[in-house]
Amino acid sequence: MIRAVAFDLDNTLINFMGFKRKSALAAARAMARNGLKGAPGKVAKEIFEVYDEYGIEYEKTFSTYLWKKGIRDFNEFEKIQQAAIVAYLDSQFHVLKPYRGVVPLLKRLRKRGLKICLVTDATRKNAWRRLAVSGLQGLFDVVVTHDDTGEFKPHPSPFRILLRKTRLKPEQIIFVGDNPHRDILGAKKMGMRTALADYGCEWPKKGATKADFVLRRFGELEKIISGI
């Protein structure tokens, strides 16, 4: 019997990539208004190239980008960088949201006595900020972040912490995530049931680990849990 539902955060509970795309464009526009040359659409694309190189969680994106653009006047540099950061944070507050139905469903599952858990590769600070911005911060019994282990899924460590904190066996947990490698393979190797958050999945599925269930919408999870 399933006793806990464990979720990945980005692109599983919140529309993280949608936010990243919109915030890159908002930052590009702010930089253009503050003196950076180049069409915002092109600048936004180049910001994503920085993410591709350094990772989506990279925290010096705008300074790395401006340095690459050859801006060496430090006041000019900081003026453009801070405008970009403010635009990024502003879009975080307005764009980063849970997928449709997430909050009521998490509340209903909790009411049914299931433990609601989060296992994210985000840092503790970023995870809690995203949870606070999206209004999800009060809904979890267990939260495991990258800071707890220093390892990324599919490494067993984050999953082991989940088992220890819930005091459950792997077969009592269903793990929901958008990443076939990190989430699905990682949880499967531990012996948990798995559900792919297909609505948020932007990863290639060819040759990827198959989940036990595939969610086209978040709300489909309720029926799946009732059936197992």
Please identify, using beta-carbon distances, which residue of 65 and 175 lies nearer to Mg ion.
175
Minimum Å gap between C-beta 10 and Mg ion is 4
Report the alpha-carbon distance of residue 120 to residue 140 in Å, rounded: 13
Please identify, using beta-carbon distances, which residue of 16 and 65 lies nearer to Mg ion.
16
Residue 26 CA to chain centroid, in angstroms?
20
Please give the order of strands across the beta sheet that includes 173-177: 142-144, 115-119, 4-7, 173-177, 193-197, 213-215
**Of these, 6, 11, 80, 115, which contacts Mg ion (CB under 5 A)?**
11
Q: How many residues does the chain have?
A: 228
Q: Does 8 bind Mg ion (CB under 5 A)?
A: yes
Please identify, using beta-carbon distances, which residue of 66 and 192 lies nearer to Mg ion.
192
Report the alpha-carbon distance of residue 188 to residue 82 in Å, rounded: 43
Minimum Å gap between C-beta 11 and Mg ion is 4
Q: Contact at 8 Å (CB) between 5 and 228?
A: no
Minimum Å gap between C-beta 102 and Mg ion is 14
Please identify, using beta-carbon distances, which residue of 11 and 92 lies nearer to Mg ion.
11
Cβ atoms within 10 Å, residue 75:
7
Minimum Å gap between C-beta 118 and Mg ion is 11
Minimum Å gap between C-beta 182 and Mg ion is 7
* Interface stretch with Mg ion, choices 11-19, 20-28, 70-78, 99-107 (CB under 5 A): 11-19
Which residues are 102's β-sheet partners?
none
> What's the sign of the alpha-carbon dihedral 17, 98, 189, 222?
negative
Q: Does 121 bind Mg ion (CB under 5 A)?
A: no
Please identify, using beta-carbon distances, which residue of 67 and 152 lies nearer to Mg ion.
152
Please identify, using beta-carbon distances, which residue of 81 and 149 lies nearer to Mg ion.
149
Report the alpha-carbon distance of residue 85 to residue 61 in Å, rounded: 10
Quick note: the x/- pattern for Mg ion over 164-203, rule CB under 5 A, is --------------x-------------------------
- Provide the 3-class DSSP secondary structure of residue 98: strand
**What is the distance between the terminal CA atoms of the chain, rounded to a whole angstrom?**
7
- Provide the 3-class DSSP secondary structure of residue 9: coil
Kindly state the number of chain residues that form the binding site for Mg ion, as judged by CB under 5 A: 4
**Of these, 2, 5, 10, 102, which contacts Mg ion (CB under 5 A)?**
10
Structure tokens at 172: 């009592």
Minimum Å gap between C-beta 28 and Mg ion is 24
Binding site for Mg ion (CB under 5 A): 8, 10-11, 178
